[in-house]
Amino acid sequence: MRRILLIALGVLGVLLAGAAITAWRWTQTPHGPLDLGPALMINLAPARGPIDFSPEARRTANALMASLTPGTVEGVAIRDTDFPGPAGPVPLRIYTPEEAQEETEEDAPQGAQESEPLPVLVYIHGGGWWMGDDLAIWDGNCSRLAADVPAVVVSVDYRLAPEHRFPAAVDDAYAALLWARANARRLGGDPQKLALHGTSAGGNLVGAVTLRARDESGPATRLQVLMVPAMSLAPEQSESMRLFGEGFTLSSAEIDAMTEAYLGPDGDPTHPWVSPLLAKRLDGLPPALILTAQFDPLRDDAETYGARLRAAGVGAEVRRFDGALHGFLFSPDDRDDAHALTVASLQRAFADPHWAPPREPLPVKLR
């Protein structure tokens, strides 16, 4: 019996060693090591076919995304509302630290001491312009930001493609920024302390909204946080698109399909609200924190956008996370580090209206 147990343990040890060696090999690429989580995901996930833009596929994609994002943190009140948008009601999900009292001037008791209003962060979700509209998906991200900054976070459910093509999403996102400024005090916020946060397609929309706000004398924002943003949808491919556009979860074919769904057959991919990187002028925009991932095909356009902002006199900090894929979903440590950096930058921007991120000449790995 003892001999059988020793043999079994020996076989198990060999199997575990073999699995560890295989997993290590999966992390090795010609461009540097992948984080273990992304490496396992790339090698173990089933192959994906072309994107299905049907409502049923959107629900499935939303459910998958919800399973991969962090859970809601305690101490944050969440409520849903909407406002009259450019083409009908725009749903919003609002996150408020529970110690911050939301009340209108009419509701406030006579003689009561007003609490310090909080900053307001408008959060524009990702999802390739076609999914992510179940705002509960982003409860973890938004509640963490609300608690840790702290701030009132307004998450926007903008219209999605292909049912609603460009500029519908930009119109809704910009209208939400206007609404947030107009209603900041009612939410317990300060209309003079606004910021924007967007991931992936949401980062693209943040870029469009800041350009529009500058050109239309819209709300001034203290900071724009762009996390793995899509800053150019033009057909010219960057080096990172050529290197990582196949085999690293977000493919160039998928990007092309989402771009076509968003713009339609007659859309202009060089329009500055579509490709902020191609805008003729970037001066007068809010400072930026730009977070990129090493193995993301969108990486180089985002980092070039940061360089163009700096050349235009706009403070912009670019941080590249080595070993990570687009979205950081399978790199929990990188995701936490990105959150900490975002919180610190927002706190500085809200505390000092003249603060801007460091103007570093090259992307720098956070850790």
Q: How far apart are CA 298 and CA 248, in angstroms?
A: 11
Active site residue 326: yes
Quote the pLDDT of residue 21: 56
Contact 286, 220 (CB under 8 A): yes
Instruction: Please say if the pLDDT value at position 201 is more than 80.
Output: yes
pLDDT at 25: 57
Residue carrying structure tokens 């608690």: 147
pLDDT value, residue 114: 62
Calculate the average pLDDT of the chain: 88
The yes/no answer on whether domain 32-100+117-365 falls in CATH 3.90.1200.10 is no
CA angle in degrees (0–180, nearest 5) for 52-87-95: 80
Omega into 89 within 30° of 0, i.e. cis?
Answer: no
DSSP string for residues in 174-229: HHHHHHHHHHTGGGTEEEEEEEEEEETHHHHHHHHHHHHHHHTT----S-EEEES-
pLDDT tens-digit readout, 92-145:
999 999 977 544 344 444 444 467 999 999 999 999 999 999 999 999 999 999
Identify the pLDDT of residue 196. 98
Active site residue 197: no
Q: What's the pLDDT tens digit per position in 3-52?
A: 666 565 655 555 455 545 554 454 667 677 766 676 566 555 556 778 99
**Active-site pick, 171, 326, 337, 345:** 326
pLDDT tier for residue 236 given thresholds of 50, 70 and 90 = confident
pLDDT of residue 102: 46
Tokens of 246: 């196949």
Of 200, 238, 275, 345, the active-site residue reads 200
Predicted pLDDT of residue 237: 87
Give the separation between CA 200 and CA 231, rounded to whole angstroms: 9
Side-chain-facing half-sphere of 277: CA atoms under 13 Å: 24
In angstroms, the CA 352 to CA 114 distance is 22
Selected catalytic residue, list 139, 296, 322, 337: 296
The whole-angstrom separation of Cα 294 and Cα 21 is: 23
Please, are residues 159 and 205 in contact by the beta-carbon 8 Å criterion?
A: no
Question: Active site includes 190?
Answer: no
pLDDT in tens, 249-270: 899 999 999 999 999 989 999 9
E strands present in 9-105: 76-85, 88-97
Instruction: Report pLDDT for 332.
Output: 86
Give the rounded distance of the alpha carbon of 365 from its chain centre: 18
Q: Which of 234, 237, 251, 236 is nearest to 296 (CA)?
A: 251
Q: Residue 313 phi/psi, 5° resolution? A: 85, 15
The pLDDT tens digits for 264-312 are: 989 999 999 999 999 999 999 999 999 999 999 999 999 999 999 999 9
Secondary structure class of 311 (helix, strand, coil): helix
pLDDT tens-digit profile of 150-167? Answer: 999 999 999 999 999 999
pLDDT > 70: percent of the chain: 82
Give residue 366's pLDDT band: very low, low, confident or very high (50, 70, 90).
very low
> What does the pLDDT read at residue 33?
73
Q: What is the mean pLDDT of residues 335-343?
A: 95
